[in-house]
Amino acid sequence: MSSPQTSQQVGPMDTVGHDVPRIDAYERVTGRATYTGDVRLPGMLYARVLRSPHPHARIRSIDTSRAEALPGVRAVVTHETHELIYSSGSIAGGRQYSDAAKDITRNVRYMFDNPVRFVGQPVAAVAAVNRHVAEEALQLIEIDYEELPFVIDPEEALEPGAPPIWPEGNLALDFRNEPRPSGGTSGDPEAGFAAADQVFEDRYTTAFVQDAQMEPRSALAQWEGDKVTIYTPTQGISNCRHDNARDLGLEDHQVQIICKYMGGGFGDKNGSYYFDLIAASLAKEADAPVLLELTRKDDWLGTHGRWHTVQDLKVGVAQDGTVTAIGLRAYSGMGPYLRRSGGISGIDAYACLNVERVIYPVHTNRMVSGNFRAPSDPQGYFAIQSMMDDIAYKVGMDPVDFALKNMRRPTEEVEFTNYFLEECIAQGRELFDWESRWRPEPGSDPGPIKRGAGMAFMMFRSGVGPSSAILRVNADERYTLFVGVTDIGPGAKTTMAMIAAEELGVPLSQVEVVWGDTDRCPYSVGESGSRTTTQTGYAVVQAALDLKGQIAEKGMPRGDDVLIASATPTPSTQGKRRMCFGAHFVEVEADVQLGHVRITKYVAVHESGRILNPLPARDQIRGAAIQGIGQALHEDLLYDPRNGHPLTAGYYGARHVTHMDVPEIEVTFIQTDDGFGPYGAKTVGEAGIILGPAAVANAIFNTIGVRMKDLPITRERILEALA
């Protein structure tokens, strides 16, 4: 599999490529699937977290005596009792999973911080015999706060005189601990703008979007001697173990992480969370297992979501519609801790090389931002592809032709392992019937009910890299696959078993998977970056090859003997860019009198290499596209800037889409094999969410004739724009 082949359209293999229901579907439909909050241990206590009611305040004193005296309370912890650094909480430059990066981080986040820097930040926790007593005890903790000036808006946060959230100021520190924007210049933007016949400038903004997985986070900690077992919903048991061990002052082997079923993970869970540390601290204090449950509001405000952005774009265009230069100056709202990069993607999907990007990741006293499915993409693609769509109309071009003219293609300098963007756009255009649905004159339907269409296109990294797998076979020809994955929803466990079955040439029913437990599984990169299939899947192929070799050499094991193979490959694309591609075409119907928008057709065409299990892959794209629609039309976290309080936390507040809000998403995969990954498989999970906001916004423009530049595009904003 390692030697690159000519890219080609591919079909099903023996197991891979067929629709396979999940191997654990039965557990999922019968209530037998055990999530973290379902685990019950003898003598288990329940814990609750007290959180800051202030956006920025110093704790002068904290008195827990009344809480401790409440019958049924077994432990109370605060910043005074437990000064633990939460090392995943703030990371220099927003870099992930690196001891070095964590070591140099200057703006450290503690499990309980003082001062507190956002409404919802943990300040204390209680373990008690039941959750009602724990809740009651929280109310008996008395805290004297000194309220500090705060800032909610990222642009205001960078103005002179803004309340400093950190001594260094409010521009987040980069990986050298220097307050500098990210971005940089390529080509010659100045010359590019000079060469343009027209230069367009505009501002686009995107709102904060909570990951909002259905399972409120929880952690269950149990100590045995100097070893702690933590059940926790994590996307990466290996990273979670290492983070927690480091923060608790333990060796990795002293921490066991168990994550079996998990109620969704849409990013930023590939590591530890502060509530793991709180549960472990309480369990130690109380000398009993402790289940810490976050309420929905705790989870909404106390975790993270997609960073909100303000993006000022400048684009130069030549007479013939060729983009000659692109400028981006942007602010990403990160909250008071730099958990992730705050980057903004999308410009790289264009061929224009004269680009200047200045992106300020800014600290504010809002809740913390982090990774959500394609962390920097939907917000970036919304802005740049709205801008380009707008320019297409202004220079008199069909937006699809403008895309085909200006999108990135392989060059001699930048090679791709394969390239299918043009095919995605061409197929989408045809399947959607663009010519009949798109209005050459935007907003030209007579109304009040109007229709129109829009599109967007993308490419997204689909790298290869290290991971591990272990395979064992016994005399009954039962194969056991050990992989450190946690099945967060896409069906990784099933995919891994399918890859093993395919490579071993055995039926899927002969393969059992052991997963989600650091004491039983090898290292895994974790379920983030859409790389379980490409990386861990590739390790499964290598382990299977090894095991097949052993069987060929030694024969099948007999009696109690087993054969075991393990693999930790580190594949490389030898300098080529490996990307997946996609194009989304959307038709909307808008009632311009009532400001209502309904999506009437949604076509998503994706090239993600070979699709190993089409059934769940289809639903990765459908679900992601619908999440993108939610970001386009609904989701936000409104703050009152006068007092720094969030007002719309929760599914009701954020107006999450329901069964009645969503269209049918029509998914087509162009299947290929570039010779990398397991059987040519590329990224699927994140790719589907990138284009929703841009494609929906462009369709709305085509329908109503007014460009909506701020997400979410609510009824209120449409009515205001049309007023």
Partner 1 sequence: MEGKPEDDGGDLTRRGFLGGTGAALVVAGVPTLGGVGVEEEGVSTQLLEAVPQTAIRVTVNGTEHRVEVEDRWTLNEFLRDHIGLTGSKIGCNRGECGACTVLLDGEPVYSCSTLAVWADGREIVTVEGLERGGDVSPLQQAFMDHNAAQCGFCTPGQLMTATALLDRIPQPTTGEVREAMVGNLCRCSNYNAIVEAVLAAAATSGSGGAQ
Partner 2 sequence: MKAFTNQNARTLDEAVALAQQALRDGRSVSFVGGGTDLLQLMKDKVVNRPGSGDPDVLVNLKTVEGLDEVTSSGQVVTIGGLTTLEALVEHPVIRDRLTVLAEAAESVATPQIRHTGTLAGNVVQRPWCWYYRNGFPCYKAGGNRCFSIAGENQLHAIFGGGPSYIVHPSDLAPALVALDATFRVVGPEGERTLSGPDFFVLPSQDAEHENVLADDEVLASVALPAPGDGVRSAYHKIMDREAWTHALVSAAVVLDMDGDVCREARIVLGGVAPVPWRVPGAEALLAGQRVTPELAREVGAAAVAGARPLSKNAYKIPLTRGVVERTVLALATSA
**Closer CB to partner 2, 623 or 712, in the complex:** 712
Pick from 159, 287, 561, 720 the residue near partner 2 by CB under 8 A.
Answer: 720
Beta bridge pairs of residue 220? 231, 291
Which does residue 2 touch among partner 2, partner 1, none (CB within 5 to 8 A, set by kind)? none
Which does residue 638 touch among partner 1, partner 2, none (CB within 5 to 8 A, set by kind)? partner 2
- H/E/C letters for each residue in 602-656? EEEEEECECCCCHHHHHHHHHHHHHHHHHHHHCCCCCEECCCCEECCCCCCCCCC
Number of residues that bind partner 2 (CB under 8 A): 29
Q: CA 529 → CA 149, 203, 266, 268, 561, distances in Å?
A: 37, 29, 10, 10, 38
What burial letters (b/e) apply to 336-374, b meaning 16+ CB within 10 Å?
bbbbbbbbbbbbbbbebbbbbbbbbbbbbbbbbbbbbbb
**Closer CB to partner 2, 100 or 647, in the complex:** 647
Q: Compute the distance between CA of residue 244 and CA of residue 406 in angstroms, rounded to an integer.
A: 47
Whether the bond between 448 and the residue before it is cis, its omega within 30 degrees of 0, is yes
State the greatest distance between any 2 C-alpha atoms of the chain, in Å, as a whole number.
80
Are 20 and 104 within 8 A, CB to CB? no
Where residue 413 falls (left for φ over 0; alpha for ψ -120 to 50; beta otherwise) is: alpha
Is residue 297 a contact residue for partner 1 (CB under 8 A)? Answer: yes
Q: Which stretch binds partner 2 (CB under 8 A): 201-209, 540-548, 675-683, 710-718?
A: 710-718
Amino acid at 13: M
Q: Which stretch binds partner 2 (CB under 8 A): 85-93, 217-225, 582-590, 711-719?
A: 711-719
Q: CA 403 → CA 128, 327, 425, 455, distances in Å?
A: 60, 18, 9, 9
Is residue 52 a contact residue for partner 1 (CB under 8 A)? Answer: yes
Query: Which residues in the 190-249 window bind partner 1 by CB under 8 A?
Result: 212-216
Is residue 152 a contact residue for partner 1 (CB under 8 A)? Answer: no
Phi and psi at residue 433, to the nearest 5° = 65, 55
Is residue 263 a contact residue for partner 1 (CB under 8 A)? Answer: yes
Which does residue 156 touch among partner 2, partner 1, none (CB within 5 to 8 A, set by kind)? none
Please state the closest distance from residue 579 (CB atom) to partner 2, in A.
Answer: 34
Please state the closest distance from residue 657 (CB atom) to partner 2, in A.
Answer: 6
CA triplet 474, 563, 482: central angle to 5 degrees?
A: 80
**Closer CB to partner 2, 537 or 646, in the complex:** 646
Are 133 and 620 within 8 A, CB to CB? no
Q: Which stretch binds partner 1 (CB under 8 A): 161-169, 326-334, 446-454, 647-655?
A: 647-655
Query: Which residues in the 117-136 window bind partner 2 by CB under 8 A?
Result: 132, 135-136
Please state the closest distance from residue 594 (CB atom) to partner 2, in A.
Answer: 5
Which does residue 25 touch among partner 1, partner 2, none (CB within 5 to 8 A, set by kind)? partner 1
**Closer CB to partner 2, 448 or 549, in the complex:** 448
Please state the closest distance from residue 343 (CB atom) to partner 2, in A.
Answer: 29
66: enclosing H helix or E strand: helix 65-69
Amino acid at 88: S
323: closest CA among 379, 378, 391, 425?
391
Number of residues that bind partner 1 (CB under 8 A): 87
Q: CA 47 → CA 111, 141, 247, distances in Å?
A: 15, 14, 20
**Closer CB to partner 1, 181 or 693, in the complex:** 693
Is residue 142 a contact residue for partner 2 (CB under 8 A)? Answer: no
Is residue 177 a contact residue for partner 2 (CB under 8 A)? Answer: no
CA triplet 148, 154, 156: central angle to 5 degrees?
A: 70
**Closer CB to partner 2, 299 or 487, in the complex:** 299
488: closest CA among 68, 167, 24?
24
**Closer CB to partner 2, 3 or 658, in the complex:** 658
Find tokens 């699709």 and name the residue: 611
Please state the closest distance from residue 706 (CB atom) to partner 1, in A.
Answer: 24
**Closer CB to partner 1, 295 or 474, in the complex:** 295
Local structure of 231: helix, strand or coil: strand
Please state the closest distance from residue 689 (CB atom) to partner 1, in A.
Answer: 9
Terminal alpha carbon distance of the chain:
59
Is residue 634 a contact residue for partner 2 (CB under 8 A)? Answer: yes
Please state the closest distance from residue 141 (CB atom) to partner 2, in A.
Answer: 15
**Closer CB to partner 2, 272 or 714, in the complex:** 714
Is residue 370 a contact residue for partner 2 (CB under 8 A)? Answer: no
Are 708 and 698 within 8 A, CB to CB? no
Q: Which stretch binds partner 2 (CB under 8 A): 181-189, 311-319, 652-660, 679-687?
A: 652-660
Local structure of 180: helix, strand or coil: coil
**Closer CB to partner 2, 615 or 657, in the complex:** 657
Which does residue 723 touch among partner 2, partner 1, none (CB within 5 to 8 A, set by kind)? partner 2
Is residue 61 a contact residue for partner 1 (CB under 8 A)? Answer: no
Tokens of 643: 């007092």
Query: Which residues in the 581-620 window bind partner 2 by CB under 8 A?
Result: 593-596
Is residue 70 a contact residue for partner 2 (CB under 8 A)? Answer: no
Which does residue 241 touch among partner 2, partner 1, none (CB within 5 to 8 A, set by kind)? none
Amino acid at 663: P
Pick from 5, 9, 34, 98 the residue near partner 1 by CB under 8 A.
Answer: 34
508 contacts: CB under 8 Å, gap ≥ 6: 15, 20, 23, 497, 498, 501
Q: Compute the distance between CA of residue 523 and CA of residue 574 in angstroms, rounded to an integer.
A: 24
Please state the closest distance from residue 528 (CB atom) to partner 1, in A.
Answer: 15
Pick from 8, 9, 26, 184 the residue near partner 1 by CB under 8 A.
Answer: 26
Is residue 66 a contact residue for partner 1 (CB under 8 A)? Answer: yes
Pick from 13, 14, 18, 53 the residue near partner 1 by CB under 8 A.
Answer: 53
Q: Compute the distance between CA of residue 238 and CA of residue 133 in angstroms, rounded to an integer.
A: 34
Site pattern 476..515 for partner 1 (x: CB under 8 A): ------------xxxx------------------------
Is residue 25 a contact residue for partner 1 (CB under 8 A)? Answer: yes
Pick from 4, 169, 263, 653 the residue near partner 2 by CB under 8 A.
Answer: 653
Beta bridge pairs of residue 317? 198, 323
Is residue 638 a contact residue for partner 2 (CB under 8 A)? Answer: yes
Q: Are strands 596-607 and 665-669 parallel, antiparallel or unpaired?
A: parallel
Which does residue 648 touch among partner 1, partner 2, none (CB within 5 to 8 A, set by kind)? partner 2
Is residue 710 a contact residue for partner 2 (CB under 8 A)? Answer: no
Local structure of 493: helix, strand or coil: helix
Phi and psi at residue 332, to the nearest 5° = -115, 125
Is residue 664 a contact residue for partner 2 (CB under 8 A)? Answer: no
Please state the closest distance from residue 560 (CB atom) to partner 1, in A.
Answer: 32
Site pattern 123..142 for partner 1 (x: CB under 8 A): ---------xx-xx-xxxxx
Which does residue 30 touch among partner 2, partner 1, none (CB within 5 to 8 A, set by kind)? partner 1
DSSP states along 34-52? -BGGG---TT-EEEEEEE-
Which does residue 720 touch among partner 1, partner 2, none (CB within 5 to 8 A, set by kind)? partner 2
| Helices 614-633, 377-394: inter-axial angle, 10-degree rounding | 70
Tokens of 46: 């329940």
Q: Which residues bind partner 2 (CB under 8 A)?
A: 132, 135-136, 593-596, 634, 638, 640, 642, 645-648, 652-653, 655-658, 660-661, 714-716, 719-720, 723
